[in-house]
Amino acid sequence: MGKHAELDVGLVVAGYGRHYVVETPEGRRLNCHPRGKKSDCVVGDRVRWQPAGSNAGGEGVIEKIEPRRNLLYRQDEWRTKSFAANLDQLLVLVAAEPVFSESQLSRSLIAAEHARIPACLVLNKVDLPQADAARARLAPYRAMGYEMLELALKARPDESRERLSPRLEGRSTLVLGPSGTGKSTLINLMVPEARAQVGEVSQALNSGRHTTTATQWYWLDAERTTGLIDSPGFQEFGLRQVEAAQLPAYMPDLREYAGQCRFYNCTHLHEPGCGVRAAVEAGAISPSRYRIYGEIYAQLTQPAY
């Protein structure tokens, strides 16, 4: 038995600064802070915690983070920061309108591949005339084997719920999507208690603070077997954990041809006899995907200051 093994295990369902909301196996939520100065808990973590002294008023101290199955990072202007752990899948939401960024989409899928988390693409607003153009842009991803769901969350809510439910059941799913794609519509459709659960988090923090600005875990069922994690905005995915030379391994279309190069350490940018560039010229890899590869490769090979 290791240190802290006798302590209760809880699930981190939200985090704000150095405050975390931990849910007990019975479903009680309480405000916890980590022992010491460093706070590297994320939503989805299983943690060992204990009450914070006799006068703590329902607060706790996080003593240890249990080993993680996987971990996702996001990137802001200054640093890379972890933000969600122990996920069963990623649901990447794009829409017929507004036009989505293929670069953002690719980054999220590379991050998922690196963390070994299955990803499913959701095209929303297929009731709009722009749907065909969006389908065409997503065709390379379908060809790579990514599962795709087509929904009209606002126009056809019942049908959308029916299609989504089996995909989510019994799993912990992180939902991602740029603003305007219908992510909050999806959360409110699948989690009728969403507002109540946000309220519980505010209550656990003993504050009326605006708690919709950070990653939060929602339960879809009373038995708490199906979790939906919402992260605000469409995160710029941190890919600093990926080695530049390994990048093609996390892009299924490039991976297929990367073994056909003349040189074992080919960068796929300018070497003769490159299988990847030959595949681009033959139309087997889309030019936009190859351009995105070049952009990310350049970023990963820049010296870190």
Domains, in order of start, for the chain: 8-65 (2.40.50.140), 71-230 (3.40.50.300), 244-301 (1.10.40.50)
* Portion of the chain with pLDDT greater than 70, in percent: 88
Q: Is the pLDDT of residue 4 over 70?
A: no
Could you read off the pLDDT of 118-161 as tens digits, one per residue? 999 999 999 999 999 999 999 999 999 999 999 999 999 999 99
pLDDT at residue number 57: 62
Least confident range from 27-36, 158-167, 191-200, 249-258: namely 191-200
So what's the pLDDT on residue 36?
79
**Distance (Å, rounded) from C-alpha 115 to C-alpha 110?**
9
Q: 18-22, 106-110, 128-132, 263-267 — which is least confidently predicted?
A: 18-22
DSSP per-residue string spanning 217-249: EEESSTT---EEEE-SS---B--TTS-GGGGGG
Q: Please give the pLDDT value at position 48.
A: 94
The pLDDT assigned to 13 comes to: 94
Q: Residues annotated as binding site for GTP? A: 124-127, 177-185
The residue that leads in pLDDT, 114 or 234, is: 114
Q: How high is the pLDDT of residue 305?
A: 55
Q: What is the mean pLDDT of residues 183-201?
A: 81
Which residues sit in the known binding site? Answer: 124-127, 177-185, 261, 266, 268, 274
Which tokens sit at 215? 């990653």
CB distance 297 to 289 below 8 Å: no
pTM (two decimals): 0.89
CB within 8 Å of 258: residues ≥ 6 apart: 248, 249, 266, 268, 275, 276
* Residue 209 Cα distances to 68, 153, 199, 219, angstroms: 29, 29, 10, 21
- How far, in Å, CA of 169 to CA of 178, rounded? 24
Return binding residues for Zn(2+): 261, 266, 268, 274
* Residue 196, pLDDT score: 64
What's the pLDDT score for residue 1?
47
Q: Which tokens is 288 given?
A: 């936009």
Residue 123: the pLDDT is 97
